Structure 1
């Protein structure tokens, strides 16, 4: 269908009338064009492969059906978001993603998962609130179908407000600086969920929304801010991944880096390139997470890469998938990532941007190569580091079949998408060294990755591993402290003081405990009378009688 639509330049716009009351119609609209169909194809392919993979990965799980239903709800929310030309149905899909991602992140019920889930849900709430505000701002027009306003409402003040809010909402969902801290935290979810979330669903929702709204946003000043922030996100994630030892977090940070790349090319006004990279990236990123899942299973649930090593000899097929996915991520020629990444970098070289942005792009590309090769060194090349008795095998065919489907796509999807999406090839003429710049930075990154992970450069490592520097770089430039712990600390501390002094202090003294003590004292006093003390009874009787007689006499 997608090929048919793109060849004939077709768009189908369906409106389904739910309620018609007087002159008010409530309609559900669906937009089918080549972009939504192609994206749905990728989402459905990856989710079906992931669910097949979960059959083996989650086999020991008691509530497997619940897990599969949650994943299906997640995919359904994403599909609703993809086919919606209407901001209200977009909100339904958007909120569905946020809610179900919370349920999936806290799937393994412990305190770490709970904290990660709250961080994920509350970061995404910011975006939901902005979309609610957009719905309110679009009351200025006749309809919530944003599609009708893309062409001619560019300089309208209300639309500028809507555009700025769309950008902020997309930044929360796609984890750009300052909302980046939730993405590595969401690794508390089961690995199949991570594969789905990080490839084609949750984190790409923001990018997809910006691609759809791109015509409106291109003149907004905030878009220039987005370019800077997304460039910094790309750079920051690349550096942090080199300091991380958790296998899943390294892959999560590489997702963050690629999201920065998509967002920054979007802010330059090239939505087709961003979409192209989004699709090619989805394939190898899902594959990377699946390989990580197999390795974590083999290693008895250890995620620290320092314990791994030399596993290429024991699980060759998984290692093959891991290597090819890693190479596609680095942009090795003629794999999926190369087509989109190389095109983006050449368009950046071609455009008239300043040197700072140019440097951010190229250094981040070098860093991608750096952490990917470091990961390969730790996993496949260095010595085996776990127990002396071990049993690693590569015969889980359910997992392998699903991984091979994505392996095939990681190799071919770049070229066939390029033939389909771009009706005529981009011809980019650049000076010789600028053309080879991508290869230069990749080689430098590769060499540095090799040297650092081999630990030969003692003094450099000592400097890089010094407490202050590694703390700053490893903690994503203190992003969790600034956006989470830093914000929460004062409020929670104040809350604790209030609880201690008021709830557990004065209010107890004057209400709960205070009343209890007074009543206890009086009941003790009355109890004294009721302890069958005959003398007191007789005395009180005589006393009453005397009082009675005295009253009668008067």
Structure 2
């Protein structure tokens, strides 16, 4: 089933890509309406929007999904229920397709909710307490966004239909459309894990690694970005856009700092996804929707490759994920290490790899834009932090000695996994330049002073140097004082956000519930209610039972009492 699904998806991907080329060349947009039910004057209509953007994104999602499913043939081969896993992944991809081609809030909700429900099933795939907790955090965080989307649907009742695409330009300044825009932004923030909803993204790493590759590259977390690309006109020059710019910048900064303190391989890559999502969100808030879409696609390529390489490493390391146990992988797993390093360099924005074209252009447009100093600092410092944790990862994985058990036989003989990785490796190298020519039909030059032009490169080199030095110093001169422990705890736990999202939200309601149960259910209501009534009735029943057992004595006694009273009245 893996091979068949993979072949079908890759064929659909190529078909979608060639259709995208046709739509770009002829500047086409197809809007299809399919009437499902008509009752009196009410119609339930299914609507699909096909333009170059939806077709290109669909082709990327299908291509990455096909390679991930092919990779899963070997990664999940010991699983007896692999067909169930593939079916869940296909449902996940289908939900994403539904979301991509929908210009209608109702049909978007179908795909949106489908992503949320199937992601819950995938996170609890390896069944243990940690997975259940992570899945519950993921599902409940995303439910906030689902509710916001439902409220947006109810606000759309002010207009003639739920096809938001008809009203965005015309009704842009109306109060109803601003409320809908704010609700859509809230929904996108939960799905794309912006502050304060960031804690579910690293928790969702409990899912199998192929699922993580799919979720973090082109499906679940990109759904919020894609929705805001469609609603981008609502963010430009608005208060909600300025607020989102601040929150997305802080998300980028917070996740970059957190990744430098993290030791779990998959969580480091998850935090790098969070950082890139913040970059895309903030680009959208400045009004560059096509640029954000460009980075969304290039990021999907190298992030999927990064996760597949991490999966191959974890698979060979007997399921260890701590980077402190790894080392000298470049000697033992040269092909996987090469793919990993290329993906890492693409993430950093190494010139002429996929990530360079989008990141460099975004940062140059930031320098051209009217931004305040704080936002400017967040952009560039976060870029430096990205390179910092990438080089830290390279230091721990590729250099030094293996710190794990000596009986681990590391090898590069998982040829099915390698084939899936090589497909993405090729795209991670040429994907950026290809998309650059495809999306931006008219070439344009960003003219800046020499220092500003080289600023991105300087920041990246400084970040890489710091990452390497900090890793080397922390191995030999690690400070074990309590203040440094608190400092690393604060930054390493995403500014205590997971604690706030779990203990912070549930602790006081649980305590209140305990006190309520103690005072009412097992306290006064127990005394005045069921338990006391039960005791009283039982006592009465026992008394009646005594009377019943001794009824002759009672009758004789009553007769004597009655007789004595009668005689006494006679003598009176």
Q: TM-score, normalised by structure 1?
A: 0.94
Matching of residue 95 in structure 1 with residue 113 in structure 2: yes
1:248 — aligned with what?
Answer: 266
1:296 pairs with 2:307? no
Once the 2 structures are TM-superposed, how far is the Cα of residue 507 of structure 1 from its aligned partner? Answer: 3.2
Match of 2:9 in 1: none
Are 1:170 and 1:210, in contact at CA under 8 Å, matched by a contact in 2? yes
1:114 to 129, 132, 144: 132
Deviation at 1:546, TM superposition (A): 6.7
Q: 1:392 and 1:519, CA in 2 relative to 1: closer, same or farther beyond 3 A?
A: farther
CA distance in 2, matches of 1:203, 1:511: 51
Correspondence 1:384-463 to 2 at 5 A: 384-455=402-473
User: Given the alignment of the two structures, is residue 340 of structure 1 paired with residue 358 of structure 2, yes or no?
Assistant: yes
Given that 1:163 and 1:220 are in contact with CA atoms closer than 8 Å, whether structure 2 keeps it comes out as no
Deviation at 1:164, TM superposition (A): 1.5
Unaligned runs of 5+ in 1: none
Instruction: Tell me the equivalent position of 1:149.
Output: 167
**How high is the TM-score relative to the length of structure 2?**
0.91
- Rounded Cα–Cα distance in structure 2 between residues aligned with 1:67 and 1:390: 28
* Higher mean C-alpha displacement, 387-396 vs 246-255: 387-396
- 1:138 pairs, out of 133, 153, 156, with 156
SS at match of 1:243: coil
User: Secondary structure at 2:260's aligned position in 1?
Assistant: helix
* Partner residue, 1:503: 521
Contact 1:154 1:219 in 2 (8 A): no
Task: Point out where structure 2 has 5 or more consecutive residues left out of the alignment.
Answer: 1-18
Q: How far does residue 217 in structure 1 lie from its aligned partner after superposition?
A: 2.7
Moved more, 503-512 or 298-307: 503-512
- The separation in 2 between residues aligned to 1:465 and 1:420, in whole angstroms, is 52
Conserved 8 A contact 1:160-1:220: no
Give distance in 2, aligned partners of 1:364 and 1:172. Answer: 21
How many pairs are equivalent? 550
- Aligned counterparts of 1:464 and 1:30: Cα–Cα separation in 2: 58
Q: Say which of 85, 88, 92 aligns to 1:70.
A: 88
Partner of 1:39: 57
1:345-390, Cα deviation, whole Å (9 max, x unpaired): 1111122212221111111111000001111111111211011322
- Tell me: CA distance 1:420–1:314, structure 2 relative to 1, closer, same or farther (3 Å): same
Name the CA distance, whole Å, in 2 between partners of 1:382 and 1:465: 29
Match of 1:231 in 2: 249
Q: Which moved more, 1:103-112 or 1:362-371?
A: 103-112
| 2:496 aligned residue | 478
- CA offset digits 1:51-84 (Å, max 9, x no partner): 1222222222232222211111111111000000
Match of 1:468 among 486, 500, 506: 486
Q: Deviations over 1:9-35 (max 9, x none)?
A: 001111111122232222111000000
Q: Does 1:382 align with 2:397?
A: no
What are the Cα deviations for residues 375-413 of structure 1, in whole angstroms up to 9, with x where unaligned?
111111121101132212221122111111111111111
**Secondary structure of 2:127's match?**
coil
Q: Aligned partners of 1:202 and 1:456: how far apart in 2?
A: 35
Supply the RMSD in Å over aligned alpha carbons.
Answer: 2.4
1:323 aligned residue: 341
| Residue of structure 2 in register with 1:312 after alignment | 330
